[in-house]
């Protein structure tokens, strides 16, 4: 007896002793498949026998005891093993088996009715760098099996398929075609026209082959006819067609009609005998991404074997109400149609259903996390209208309507008894810091502590200066001078110790700083609110560490990068989003112009006139992807050239990525303090630096930058009341027609530009460290606002009725969501 068959005999004999209760193998008999298949092939068992055994083992767990005995005996017949053919009847074990089934049913009932343990605070679902998890639900046993379990896929083919990321049967089901060829319309040969892609039915009149003289190419030539006419088929260096084709064979043939010496011809067409399942012709044909040594025909056949067997077995995780109300195709049908569509209409419906799956499960996970966080208890902080109005009156300027609206939203959050979890997005210069200061004041006046984290020391110093002015000065300051402190990397040790003591005893009410705030020695007495500025510059772990310094603290994250609505609903779906899209009074829009490379003298004249007027200017150079050496050298050379040849009487600073952090800080301080008239820089000045005296922004090689970056550069000027200018110089005159540059010239509205950038370049521009592991969705378009809103609508409905997804009708949905969202510790905010 061979090794593989002997193994089965021993296991089946043990299974009989257990009363056919599926106990002979840990996890069930079906767990045998992965290891047994490779042993069977090594023993030389035929593929038909192997597939027969696999099919029986896959169904074993779902059968009753009597059928299980018959199943194993069938395997005995297939393998011709007398010991298995004669397995004993389960007479004396029938009752025991019924007890097993009964216990399983009781266990399932207990699991459904038992209360679910509350998730730990801060436990969230996090995206990974892998492709989007497959939104399957209650996956049938066998889907996780290696692809070698599929008929026709051996070790060699499996290694090739692994290069495409296909390791299991489940991977193959969700490996969607990259495009489709429509060969569904049959034509007669007499009606064929040059250039069209068609399918014809014809018989082979003759078949020949010959070798060309000049290049020695082997040409296989077939003439086919359908009685209305004839056409020639040709293949180059593909002699295997001679083994498949025979005279008088009746074929379905698909391909593009070409011309050769005035006659119609098809080069390298697909064909099949008419009595075969026509996967490659006479239909809408799927075209899959390939790797070397894999043919489209072979992969298509393998996919067909998988889809026809497994797609009908995929359970539907959406409820009948959602399917009917949203007019969605059932999942098994959608999986069949996306691979082998009956029509363009059914293909469209299938793609829509599977895209809906991705957005729905994305929304379900986000909204459930948001719900879990909002159900936590936190300290309430309230402020009377009179008190708040008194604070607003002390401001040196009038609040915009957008600022007042956002302040109202944050007041409601702070008074709700649940932790604030809000994203504040506002265009550059829209006044986010003032609104944040007023929210901080509501918490501070109650005696609690707050923290404000910025990505760089100079930004932290900038916020320290402005928040101190707003909260610790005037007639009725919220803070005394020593109650607001700054903690950065350069803070002297003695001062650092004073801060640690003040935090621990509660005398410090507002701590502003960089990532130094999250270091272990920093311990708060009563931290109740955290603000994170330029949140995309911080990683998940950093924000979580700061939040953990308190207990269910209120969190506000801010960004100066306008976020398109579709991304706000998906990537930031777990946060409440506030938008400030209105500029404070007195701000003048920055005048933006595209300047041809040959017109630099005009740019230099503007810079000189502005500097003579007491103002300052930026000149930006791009970074190159393969490293900044070349471009930094260019920036250095340009700084020297500008200093020696163009502006010898002015002071020009230099800032780039090769400088140490302390050197960068030093350059920016000198520029802020007006020791430099002009700053030559790379993109390191993109975010947050506030130089109110700067009125000119020149961007060299502007065509190399994305809209989001260009808009951030422009935001570095125009911070005061004076007219400011942004001059975009492309590399060539032709690049002046660049659509991004023209969009910059046409509007100052960051939200308009953000939508444009999203449509042109995808979501990458908007994904900071928070989303660096955000997955690429397989089908859903993250800019499809209609689909996103529709999926969110049904996800909200489900969670409003069943927040924990504990109802029986939502069990498959819950499994699908957990399969889509790997659970992890951390914080998505």
- Checking if the pLDDT of 613 tops 90, the result is yes
pLDDT (mean) for 554-580: 81
pLDDT (mean) for 435-464: 91
Question: CA nearest 434: which of 379, 394, 486, 474?
Answer: 394
The pTM for the full model equals 0.64
Question: CA nearest 142: which of 170, 167, 161?
Answer: 170
pLDDT digits (tens, 9 = 90+) for 690-744: 788 999 999 999 988 888 888 888 988 887 778 999 999 998 888 877 888 999 9
Comparing 185-189, 245-249, 419-423, 743-747, which segment has the lowest mean pLDDT?
Answer: 185-189
pLDDT digits (tens, 9 = 90+) for 624-664: 333 444 544 577 888 888 999 999 999 999 988 777 777 88
Question: CA nearest 227: which of 264, 201, 253?
Answer: 201
Q: In this prediction, what percent of the chain has a pLDDT beyond 90? A: 33
Split at pLDDT 50, 70, 90, the class of 682 is confident
Give pLDDT, residue 276: 56
Give pLDDT, residue 240: 87
Q: For residue 587, give Cα distances in angstroms to 163, 270, 428, 548, 690.
A: 56, 66, 11, 39, 14
pLDDT digits (tens, 9 = 90+) for 747-773: 888 888 888 877 766 665 555 444 433
Give pLDDT, residue 506: 93
Comparing 153-157, 221-225, 523-527, which segment has the lowest mean pLDDT?
Answer: 153-157
Question: CA nearest 760: which of 742, 736, 779, 786?
Answer: 742
Give pLDDT, residue 348: 95
pLDDT digits (tens, 9 = 90+) for 338-371: 999 999 999 999 999 999 999 999 889 888 888 8
Determine contact, residues 680/651, Cβ cutoff 8 Å.
no
Determine contact, residues 329/754, Cβ cutoff 8 Å.
no
Give pLDDT, residue 647: 94
Give pLDDT, residue 93: 36
- Over its C-alpha atoms, the chain yields an Rg (Å, rounded) of 34
- Give, to the nearest 10 degrees, the angle between helix 661-672 and helix 457-471: 50
Give pLDDT, residue 95: 37
Split at pLDDT 50, 70, 90, the class of 107 is very low
pLDDT (mean) for 797-821: 89
* Structural element, H or E, at residue 180: strand 179-182
Give pLDDT, residue 63: 83
Contacts for 744 with CB less than 8 Å, ≥ 6 apart: 592, 594, 707, 710, 711, 714, 726, 728, 753
Give pLDDT, residue 235: 92
Give pLDDT, residue 366: 84
- Checking if the pLDDT of 158 tops 80, the result is yes
pLDDT (mean) for 384-392: 90
Comparing 291-295, 525-529, 639-643, 821-825, which segment has the lowest mean pLDDT?
Answer: 821-825
- Checking if the pLDDT of 26 tops 70, the result is no
- Residue pointed to by tokens 């009781």: 106
Question: CA nearest 462: which of 671, 182, 172, 744?
Answer: 671
Comparing 211-225, 523-537, 624-638, 786-800, which segment has the lowest mean pLDDT?
Answer: 624-638
* Bridge partners of residue 698, in order along the sequence: 619, 727
Give pLDDT, residue 799: 92
Side-chain-side CA neighbours of 64 within 13 Å: the count stands at 6
Q: Is beta strand 179-182 parallel, antiparallel or unpaired with respect to 284-287?
A: antiparallel
Give pLDDT, residue 425: 87
CB count within 10 Å of CB 829 equals 23
pLDDT digits (tens, 9 = 90+) for 580-589: 888 777 778 8
- Checking if the pLDDT of 109 tops 70, the result is no
Burial degree of 80 (CB within 10 A; 0-12, 13-18, 19+): exposed
Q: What is the mean pLDDT of the chain?
A: 82
Give pLDDT, residue 649: 94
- Checking if the pLDDT of 3 tops 80, the result is no
Split at pLDDT 50, 70, 90, the class of 154 is confident
Whole-angstrom Cα distance, residue 145 to residue 459?
53
- Checking if the pLDDT of 139 tops 60, the result is no
- Checking if the pLDDT of 829 tops 50, the result is no
Split at pLDDT 50, 70, 90, the class of 543 is low
Give pLDDT, residue 132: 52
Whole-angstrom Cα distance, residue 280 to residue 304?
11
Whole-angstrom Cα distance, residue 758 to residue 788?
15
- Checking if the pLDDT of 478 tops 70, the result is yes
pLDDT (mean) for 530-552: 75
Q: For residue 135, give Cα distances in angstroms to 304, 335, 359, 560, 817.
A: 21, 12, 10, 34, 7
- Checking if the pLDDT of 483 tops 90, the result is yes
100-109 contacts: CB < 8 A, separation 24 or more?
A: 100/21
């Amino acid at each position: 007896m061979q090794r593989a068959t002997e193994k089965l005999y021993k296991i089946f004999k043990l299974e009989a002793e257990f009363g056919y209760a599926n106990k002979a193998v840990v996890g069930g008999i079906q767990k045998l498949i992965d290891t047994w298949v490779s042993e069977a092939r090594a023993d030389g068992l035929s593929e038909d026998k192997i597939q027969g055994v696999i099919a029986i083992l896959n169904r074993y767990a779902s059968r009753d005891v009597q059928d299980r005995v018959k199943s194993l005996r069938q395997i005995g017949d297939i393998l011709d093993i007398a010991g298995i053919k004669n397995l004993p009847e389960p007479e004396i074990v029938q009752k025991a088996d019924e007890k097993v089934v009964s216990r399983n049913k009781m266990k399932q009932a207990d699991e459904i009715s038992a209360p679910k343990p509350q998730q730990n605070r801060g436990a969230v679902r996090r995206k990974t760098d892998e492709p989007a998890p497959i939104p399957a639900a209650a996956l049938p046993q066998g889907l996780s099996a290696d692809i070698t379990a599929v008929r026709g896929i051996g070790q060699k083919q499996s290694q090739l398929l692994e290069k495409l990321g296909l390791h299991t049967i489940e991977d193959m089901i969700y490996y969607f075609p990259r495009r489709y060829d429509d060969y569904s319309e049959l034509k007669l040969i007499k009606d064929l026209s040059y250039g069209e892609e068609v399918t014809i039915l014809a018989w082979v009149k003759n078949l020949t082959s010959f070798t060309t003289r000049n290049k020695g190419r082997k040409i296989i030539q077939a003439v086919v006819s359908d009685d209305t006419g004839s056409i020639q088929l040709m293949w180059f260096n593909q002699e295997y067609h001679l083994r498949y084709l025979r005279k008088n064979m009746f074929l379905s043939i698909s391909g593009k009609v070409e011309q050769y010496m005035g006659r119609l011809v098809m080069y390298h067409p697909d064909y099949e005998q008419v009595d075969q399942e026509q996967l490659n012709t006479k239909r809408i044909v799927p075209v899959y991404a390939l790797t070397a040594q894999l043919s489209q025909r072979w992969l298509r056949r393998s996919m067909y074997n998988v889809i026809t067997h497994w797609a009908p077995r995929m359970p539907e995780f959406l409820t009948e109400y959602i399917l009917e109300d949203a007019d969605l195709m059932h999942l098994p049908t959608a999986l069949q149609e996306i691979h082998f569509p009956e029509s363009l209409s059914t293909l469209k419906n299938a793609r829509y259903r599977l895209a809906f799956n991705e957005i729905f499960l994305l929304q379900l996970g986000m909204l459930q996390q948001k719900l879990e966080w909002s159900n936590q208890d936190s300290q309430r902080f309230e402020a009377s209208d009179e008190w708040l109005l008194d604070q607003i009156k002390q401001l040196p300027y009038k609040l915009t309507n957008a600022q007042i609206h956002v302040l109202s939203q944050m007041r409601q959050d702070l008074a709700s008894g649940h932790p604030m979890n809000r994203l504040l997005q506002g265009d550059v210069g829209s006044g986010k810091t003032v609104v944040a200061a007023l929210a901080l004041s509501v918490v501070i006046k109650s005696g609690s502590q707050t923290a404000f984290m910025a990505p760089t020391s100079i930004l932290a110093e900038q916020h320290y200066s402005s928040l101190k002015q707003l909260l610790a000065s005037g007639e009725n300051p919220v803070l005394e001078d020593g109650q607001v402190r700054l903690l950065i990397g350069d803070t002297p040790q003695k001062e650092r110790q004073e801060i640690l003591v003040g935090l621990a005893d509660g005398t410090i009410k507002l701590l502003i700083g960089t990532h130094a705030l999250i270091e272990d020695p920093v311990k708060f007495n009563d931290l109740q609110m955290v603000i994170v500025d330029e949140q995309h510059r911080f990683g998940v772990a950093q924000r979580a560490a700061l939040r953990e310094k308190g207990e269910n603290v209120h969190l506000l994250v801010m960004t100066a990068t306008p976020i398109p609505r579709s991304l706000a609903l998906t990537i930031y779906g777990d946060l409440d989003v506030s938008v400030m899209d209105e500029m404070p009074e007195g701000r003048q829009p920055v005048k933006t112009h595209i300047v041809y490379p040959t017109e630099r003298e005009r740019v230099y004249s503007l810079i000189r006139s502005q500097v003579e007027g007491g103002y300052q200017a930026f000149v930006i150079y791009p970074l190159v992807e393969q490293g900044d050496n070349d471009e930094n050298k260019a920036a250095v050379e340009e700084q020297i050239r500008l200093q020696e040849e163009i502006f010898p009487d002015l002071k020009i600073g230099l800032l780039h990525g090769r400088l140490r952090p302390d050197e960068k800080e030093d350059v920016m301080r000198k520029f802020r303090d007006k020791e430099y008239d002009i700053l030559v820089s790379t993109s390191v000045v993109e975010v947050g630096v506030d130089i109110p005296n700067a009125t000119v922004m020149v961007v060299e090689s502007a065509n190399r930058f994305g809209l989001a970056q260009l808009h951030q550069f422009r935001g570095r000027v125009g911070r005061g009341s004076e007219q400011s200018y942004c001059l975009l110089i492309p590399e060539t005159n032709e690049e002046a027609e660049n659509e991004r540059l023209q969009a910059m010239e046409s509007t100052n509205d960051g939200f308009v530009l953000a939508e444009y950038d999203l449509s042109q370049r995808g979501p990458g521009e908007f994904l900071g460290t928070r989303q660096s592991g955000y997955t690429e969705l397989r089908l859903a378009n993250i800019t499809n606002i209609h689909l996103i809103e529709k999926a969110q609508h049904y996800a909200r409905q489900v969670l409003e009725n069943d927040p924990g997804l504990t109802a029986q009708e939502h069990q498959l949905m819950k499994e699908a969501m957990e399969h889509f969202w790997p659970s992890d510790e951390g914080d998505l905010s």
